[in-house]
Amino acid sequence: MNTVYLEKESRRVSLAFQLVDAYSDSVITEAVEVYLTGIVQRPIHTDEGYIIYMDLPAGEYEVKASGRYFDFFESLSLDTTTFNALTGPHVIQMRPRVDYPFKADATLVRGIVRDQDGVPVAGARVEVVNGTDFAITDALGRCVFFFEPATESIDLTLNITASGFQSETVAMVVPVGETTSFNSTLVNLSAPNRAVLSGVIRDGYGNPISQARVGFQGTDISTITDARGNYTISCVLGGSSQSMTIELNRDGYVNASVSRVLTAGQNTVFNHTMSYLPSWETIGFFVATRTTNHQVLNDVLVEVLEKNWACYTSGSDGRVRFFDNSVIEGGENVTVRMSKPGYVTRIEHVTLRSDRWTDLTYRLSSG
């Protein structure tokens, strides 16, 4: 009788990690594609959400992962020579994609990044200023940020960059339990003789003018200032430099035309102060914000919800000014919302008059 010797195979755990949902802080058990650079071996997936690689050659490996609802943007370097099974697996936070099933009352910021022709910019990096969180836009130029838990409004500034494009900064106030949206236009600097113009439009009191139209005379190129009066616009020049006439228009203000020499491949900063029309030529209203002890309160986001108006208070009087010659005879009811991080959001229902100015002052309580 022949004796058969069976040799027991000994296998070694080289790497083990768990993928964690950064939103819910729970282990991801759904199918997620995981890649190690230079390795074709498929990992072992356990019911507990562990991902295990066996018998890898000693060395460092970069991990990349993606799933239906998740992305892992940064390449994480793991060293098999330092892995210790007794200390547990590496934990990798997976960021939700834009189609992730967030809770209905989640505090979110959703954005779309496009170029000046309206084409989505994929792979743009959208980074929280003075923070560590960031997102990478998908093939449709979309990104999402979540803030959990959030107990008060968030004053958020995002810096948006992409290779070959002019960077842009977007600022907003994010209310708790709501979705705040933004659209960003990045200027493609690779186009021949393309020049960029950017700046801030204010009134005589230093307050930003939102919804002002800034454009180049004789062209269809124009843009609208945001709630802080900021704008960015670009055009293709006829040569390395060219004098362009900038036109500025806004209801309630005197239209302006100013010439500037633009240089291809450069950003020219153009700030401008617009003058008010005489009071008999326009109708509108003021909103001024104060603290409870009557101090001027600036950087308050004032929104007129029915009109889709938004502007931040600033200047020595803490006011914003809105103009509207379309108010119906007898008056029009609107909702005014005032918000600032560190203060209780205030909502007021106001009647705008069609025959005279409306001047309002509100006090915001800290909390």
Interval 205-211 mean pLDDT: 81
Amino acid found at 134 = F
**Which pLDDT belongs to residue 73?**
61
Task: Please give the model's pTM, rounded to 2 decimal places.
Answer: 0.53
Give the residue extent of every domain in the chain.
13-96, 108-186, 194-273, 283-364
**Which pLDDT belongs to residue 258?**
94
Least confident of 162-166, 259-263, 288-292: 288-292
**Which pLDDT belongs to residue 261?**
94
Q: Residue 296: exposed, middle, or buried by beta-carbon count in 10 A (0-12, 13-18, 19+)?
A: middle
Structural contact between residues 157 and 128, judged by C-beta atoms closer than 8 angstroms: yes
**Which pLDDT belongs to residue 230?**
86
Which of 216, 358, 200, 203 minimizes the C-alpha distance to 277? 203
84-88, 199-203, 251-255 — most confident range: 199-203
Instruction: Output the CA–CA distances (angstroms, integers) from residue 123 to 135, 163, 164, in the order listed.
Output: 9, 9, 12
Strand partners, 301: 312, 339
Q: Residue 96: exposed, middle, or buried by beta-carbon count in 10 A (0-12, 13-18, 19+)?
A: buried
What confidence category does residue 292 fall into, taking pLDDT thresholds of 50, 70 and 90? confident
- Check pLDDT > 80 for residue 1: no
Contacts of 84 (CB under 8 A, 6+ apart): none
Q: Residue 274: exposed, middle, or buried by beta-carbon count in 10 A (0-12, 13-18, 19+)?
A: buried
CA 173, 269, 115, 65: dihedral to nearest 10 degrees? -60
What confidence category does residue 195 fall into, taking pLDDT thresholds of 50, 70 and 90? confident
**Which pLDDT belongs to residue 331?**
72
Same CATH fold assignment for domains 13-96 and 194-273: yes
Q: Exposed e or buried b for every residue in 41-61, given b needs 16+ CB within 10 A?
A: eebeeeeebbbebeebeeeeb
**Which pLDDT belongs to residue 85?**
63
What confidence category does residue 200 fall into, taking pLDDT thresholds of 50, 70 and 90? very high
- Check pLDDT > 80 for residue 307: no
DSSP letters for 142-171: EEEEE-SS--S-EEEEEEEE-TTB--EEEE
Query: Which phi and psi angles does 305 have, rounded to 5°?
Result: -65, -45
For residue 262, the SS3 value is strand
**Cα–Cα distance for residue pair 121/113, rounded to 1 Å:** 6
Strand partners, 242: 262
DSSP letters for 92-127: EEEEE-TTS---TT--EEEEEEEETTS-B-TT-EEE
Instruction: Output the CA–CA distances (angstroms, integers) from residue 140 to 161, 191, 286, 318, 359, in the order listed.
Output: 16, 21, 39, 39, 44
**Which pLDDT belongs to residue 86?**
60
Least confident of 68-72, 143-147, 230-234, 346-350: 68-72
pLDDT in tens, 28-77: 877 677 777 777 777 888 877 788 888 888 877 788 777 778 877 656 67
- Check pLDDT > 90 for residue 247: yes
CATH topology of domain 108-186: Immunoglobulin-like (2.60.40)
Peptide bond into 149 cis (omega under 30): yes
The architecture of the domain spanning 283-364 is Sandwich (2.60)
pLDDT in tens, 137-183: 887 889 999 998 888 888 899 999 998 888 888 989 899 999 999 99
What confidence category does residue 236 fall into, taking pLDDT thresholds of 50, 70 and 90? confident
- Check pLDDT > 80 for residue 288: no
What confidence category does residue 330 fall into, taking pLDDT thresholds of 50, 70 and 90? low
**Which pLDDT belongs to residue 6?**
46
- Looking at the chain, the whole-number percentage of residues with pLDDT higher than 90 is 19
- Check pLDDT > 50 for residue 280: no
Strand partners, 336: 304, 348
Average pLDDT, the chain: 82
**Which pLDDT belongs to residue 181?**
93
Superfamily of domain 13-96: Carboxypeptidase-like, regulatory domain (2.60.40.1120)
**Which pLDDT belongs to residue 354?**
64
Long-range contact pairs involving 179-182 (C-beta distance under 8 Å, separation at least 24)? 179/106, 179/108, 179/109, 179/110, 180/108, 180/109, 180/110, 181/109, 181/110, 181/111, 182/109, 182/110, 182/111, 182/112, 182/158
pLDDT in tens, 8-35: 455 677 888 888 888 988 888 776 777 7
**Which pLDDT belongs to residue 8?**
47
Considering the four listed CATH numbers 2.60.40.1120, 1.20.1440.230, 3.40.50.300, 1.10.10.10, the one that applies to the domain covering 194-273 is: 2.60.40.1120
**Which pLDDT belongs to residue 111?**
94
- Check pLDDT > 80 for residue 272: yes
- Check pLDDT > 70 for residue 326: no
Strand partners, 216: 246
